């Protein structure tokens, strides 16, 4: 009895190899399509963490993530002692609101402090009133402010105190745009062209 020599596998031709790769891609795309079909976005504003927070509002009472529903909103995190970025941003948003003749029901600006040690409700009330009746200020304890910052991925860092209680705070200078359903709709960068800003707010307010 003699052993039968094993059959030698023929090397794959270029066409056969191409077919195998093509079928593999079909399988991968199929799994990806199925994943997209069954995947649903997480609860809360798209693009944000959706983490809960509670702050005090200059409009009265508490302000939570649920309060973003109902009115298109521009949300900005800053502080009232800010020498440039914050007042400039607030003034520009106020100017666009007046330019588009938007009522408080069509568009509002929410200014959330990153410096609760100095920004009490009273201080915030005086600050936001300089820009318009639809401007709302938010503050709270340090823990509450930290939770709100975390919910929107905001960075802030207190600078050195000069010994008189005066200090600067480095912080995110982005404006978040939220639709009337409370969902994230986009951002406005600091120093962005005013026409582009006006176009974004116009679309947000449906004006």
Q: Which domains does the chain have, with CATH numbers?
A: 54-205 (3.40.30.10)
What pLDDT digit, counting tens, does each position of 89-127 carry?
999 999 999 999 999 999 999 999 999 999 999 999 999
150 touches 156 (CB < 8 A): no
Residues of the chain under the 50 pLDDT cut: 1-9, 12, 15-18, 20-47
What pLDDT digit, counting tens, does each position of 82-91 carry?
999 999 999 9
**What is the total residue count of the chain?**
207
10 Å CB burial of residue 190 (0-12, 13-18, 19+) is middle
**At CA 51, angle to CA 76 and CA 170, rounded to 5?**
35
């Amino acid at each position: 009895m003699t052993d039968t020599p094993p059959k030698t596998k023929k090397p794959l031709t270029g066409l056969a190899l191409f077919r195998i790769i093509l079928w593999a891609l079909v399988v991968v795309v199929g799994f990806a399509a199925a994943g997209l079909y069954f995947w649903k976005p997480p609860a809360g504003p798209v693009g944000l963490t959706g983490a809960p927070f509670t702050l005090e509002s200059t409009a009265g009472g508490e302000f939570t993530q649920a309060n973003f529903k109902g009115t298109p909103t521009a949300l900005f995190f800053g502080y009232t002692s800010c020498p440039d970025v914050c007042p400039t941003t607030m003034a520009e948003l106020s100017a666009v609101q007046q330019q588009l003749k938007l009522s408080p029901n069509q568009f509002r600006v929410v200014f959330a402090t990153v410096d609760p040690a100095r920004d009490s409700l009273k201080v915030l009330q005086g600050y936001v009133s300089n820009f318009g009746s639809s401007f709302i200020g938010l503050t709270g304890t340090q823990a509450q402010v930290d939770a709100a910052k975390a919910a929107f991925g905001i960075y802030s860092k207190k600078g050195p105190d000069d010994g008189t209680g005066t200090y600067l705070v480095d912080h995110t200078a982005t404006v978040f745009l939220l639709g009337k359903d409370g969902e994230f709709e986009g951002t406005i960068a600091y120093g962005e062209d005013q026409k582009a800003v006006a176009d974004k707010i116009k679309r947000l307010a449906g004006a």
